[in-house]
Amino acid sequence: MNTPAVLSDQIDAANPTAIIRVENLCKSYYLDGANGKSVELRVLIDINFSITSGEFVAIMGHSGSGKSTLMNVLGCLDSPSSGHYWLGQQDVATLSNDALASVRNRQIGFVFQGFNLLRRMTALDNVAAPLLYAGISRKAARQRAMSLLEQTGLDSFAMHHPNQLSGGQQQRVAISRALVNQPQLILADEPTGNLDTQTSHEIMLLFDRLNRESGITIMIVTHEDDIAACASRLIRLKDGRIIEDAATRHRQNHAMAARQ
């Protein structure tokens, strides 16, 4: 069930290594209703949780449960209607648009269901792109990008364009791109939604390895139980509220499968 509201200093005392803290977070949209009156659509309602640095968390819920909206808020792509969100020690509500853009580019890595790769660019240049936007030299950016492609097993495909890659390969490129700025946090929205079962398993093994070996915090949105079971913690939403927040029971089995 959803945890009760607590004061910020209480959260700090309970979890001083929290990379994410949300307190009484709500999100509403206003739609045009009958007689010209606005109708409030409450998408997130009194959300409270903290995520410790290095956790691997799955957010689950049926369509319309609020999980993608929550991911957008956590990724600084949208703002809450009320409540608070801290990313590390930063109160996100106090950040300017430029500061938010910097947070998205430097502190958060995004992985999307549709890969969102630039079709006219090679895999290498897709991975290097965030570094170029950050002002890193092309040579240094490409060296870093190639290193990540090697880690994800795609160095031999570095000069391929997205249309020359399988879905699983494209998602590995997208994961490499998400990691290139060495972010504190990876947010993945339905990262296996366009992949077959075997490829989905391989992508989740990659996330598992990255989490275990590098300690990077990973949050994935999914509607699939077997994908959520790869994480160590599950937050389940229903009608905009948290109805479950618990450790998963299958991470150990997943890790065993990875070693086989």
Domains in the chain: boundaries: 113-182
Q: Residues of the chain with pLDDT > 70: what percent?
A: 89
First and final CA of the chain: distance in angstroms? 36
Is 125 in a helix, a strand, or coil?
A: helix
Over residues 154-183, mean pLDDT: 95
Segment among 1-15, 45-59, 222-236 with least mean pLDDT: 1-15
Over residues 140-159, mean pLDDT: 95
Q: pLDDT for 207-252, tens place per residue? A: 999 999 989 999 999 988 989 999 999 999 999 999 999 998 655 4
Give the DSSP H or E segment for 68. Answer: helix 67-74
Mean confidence (pLDDT) of the chain: 88
Q: In what order do the strands lie in the sheet with 241-247?
A: 108-112, 185-189, 217-222, 56-60, 233-238, 241-247
Check residues 252 and 170 and name the one with the higher pLDDT.
170
CA dist., res. 44 & res. 23, Å (int) = 12
- CA-angle at 219, arms to 218 and 221, nearest 5°: 145
Q: pLDDT for 74-131, tens place per residue? A: 999 999 999 999 999 889 999 999 999 989 988 999 999 999 999 999 999 999 999 9
Is 7 in a helix, a strand, or coil?
A: coil
Over residues 22-42, mean pLDDT: 88
- Given a cut of 90, whether residue 57 has pLDDT beyond it is yes
The confidence score (pLDDT) of residue 251 equals 53
Strands 18-32 and 38-52: antiparallel
Residue with tokens 């300690």: 215
Residue with tokens 């939403």: 237
What is the sign, positive or negative, of the torsion defined by CA atoms of 103, 21, 219, 221?
A: negative
Contact 119, 173 (CB under 8 A): no
Structure tokens, 42: 């409450």
Instruction: Give the model's confidence band at 138: pLDDT under 50 very low, under 70 low, under 90 confident, else very high.
Output: very high
Check residues 216 and 3 and name the one with the higher pLDDT.
216
Structure tokens, 17: 């290594």
Segment among 11-25, 138-152, 168-182, 221-235 with least mean pLDDT: 11-25
Please report, for residues 68, 97, 112, the alpha-carbon distance to residue 194 in angstroms, rounded to integers and kept in the order given: 16, 32, 10
Instruction: Give the model's confidence band at 38: pLDDT under 50 very low, under 70 low, under 90 confident, else very high.
Output: confident
The Cβ of residue 251 has, within 10 Å, a number of other Cβ atoms equal to: 16
pTM of the entire structure?
Answer: 0.86
